[in-house]
Amino acid sequence: MRPKLRPLILAAALAGPFVLAACGPSPETSGGRAEAAGWHEFGGSWNAAGRRHILSLGGDRRAGLIDLTGTLLLAGPDRPGVGFRGDAIALNDSATGLVGRVVWTDERGDQVFSELSGQGVAAGQKVTGTFVGGTGRYAGATGTYEFTWQYVLEAEDGTVQGRAVGLKGRILVGEPTRAPAGQQGRP
């Protein structure tokens, strides 16, 4: 692939889910499901790009830090939202697997936090996420999700692109935490 085409392909890959998400129903028009407390099951995909830094640990063992940003598109009648920006950082060790942290940010700026663990970041590798809280309508979020890396492309400069498929899970969201009446605006 010619170097000049890479930015165009990356832009198209990252823009696609945003266009699809904009065409889907919003949580407000789907009966307020995302606003209600309770379990929400979902499916979807995640396209991400970023950088990876690799250290050789002798022999075939390698460790790498990865920093990814991309778009998550969720599906299902009980999904907690439609589209999110997903930011992830992770340490991948070829001997011990992957550990990482992820923040999903929706169109309102509300966030969901999760911890990742798994086999790694190569194509075909399964990753599991555990929700550990959030802000706004995702405050106190708990639950789990999983996905598999469909592909991971890496350039010589450490730039990586990937697509996660089979994203599925459940999240329990409660009522957003608010200051008691008369105390809003107070420290």
pLDDT of residue 184: 43
Domain annotation covers residue 138: yes
pTM of the model: 0.72
75 touches 101 (CB < 8 A): no
The conformation of residue 71, written as its DSSP 8-state character, comes to E
Residue 21 has pLDDT above 90, yes or no: no
Domain that holds residue 122: 5-19+42-173
pLDDT of 70 > 50? The answer is yes
d(C-alpha 107, C-alpha 59), whole Å: 45
Question: What is the count of structural domains for the chain?
Answer: 1
Taking only the tens place, the pLDDT of each residue in 78-88 is 898 889 999 99
Q: Is 163 inside a domain boundary?
A: yes
Looking at residue 129, what is its pLDDT?
A: 97
